[in-house]
Amino acid sequence: MDGTCQGGITDRRGAILDAAQHVFAESGFHTSTMDAVAEAAGVAKGTIYLYFKSKDELLTELMDDRTGRLTQMLTEAVTTASGVHAKLRALIRAHFDFYAQEKEFMLLLSRQLGLLSPELGRRVVEGTAFLTSLTQSIVEEGMSSGLVSDDFDPAKLTYALLGMVHAVAYQWLASGMVSDSCGVTDQAYTLFARGALPALSE
């Protein structure tokens, strides 16, 4: 009985978050209303306030929920990979898989990021701190084993990799994802692993 009730609460909360994501992505956060979210979720407006006190809290919870999903995907991908090369590829692939699964959320984030309150902006940064730490740990593991060049500062190399992945992912998203995530992963991984320029003579 208790499990069923808890499941119902979780399902209702998730449905409201999904509806809010759709409404915010379609209309923009600041011009959206709780009435529109309630209509999209198929619930009474008062029901939403049983779970979320305000529209700002609804967006905050949406951000936290989706960031949690990304963290879980990254953790599972890297944990099941063996070796530095496989971990780096898995980490990149998890990014593109997340973009594919959460296309609407990423479109919302890309359109609204500059309009978020300082508090929400801070939460987005904090939510990606795990990603930066995880990536740098793999880079440093590679440097220690001689599989990644130690000519670079590990932090800068980490930001270079993540910056490239995010930029490619956003372009892939904006293009309508005409290629599959596996193909985009291969290109991004190869670019990071080998570079784009032929070896220069001394």
Residue with tokens 């060049």: 149
Going residue by residue through the chain, which has 202 residues, state the pLDDT in tens, using 9 for 90 and above. Answer: 344 344 555 688 999 999 999 999 898 888 899 999 999 999 999 999 999 999 989 988 998 899 889 999 999 999 999 999 999 999 999 999 999 999 899 888 877 666 667 777 777 777 778 899 999 999 999 999 999 999 999 999 999 999 999 999 988 888 888 778 888 999 999 999 988 787 654 4
- List the structure tokens of 141: 């593991």
Integer Cα distance of 71 and 95 in angstroms: 10
DSSP one-letter code for 200: P
Instruction: Kindly list the structural domains of the chain, giving each domain's residue range(s) and its CATH number in brackets, ordered by start.
Output: 1-52 (1.10.10.60), 54-194 (1.10.357.10)
Give the pTM: 0.83
- Say if residues 73 and 94 touch (Cβ distance below 8 Å): yes
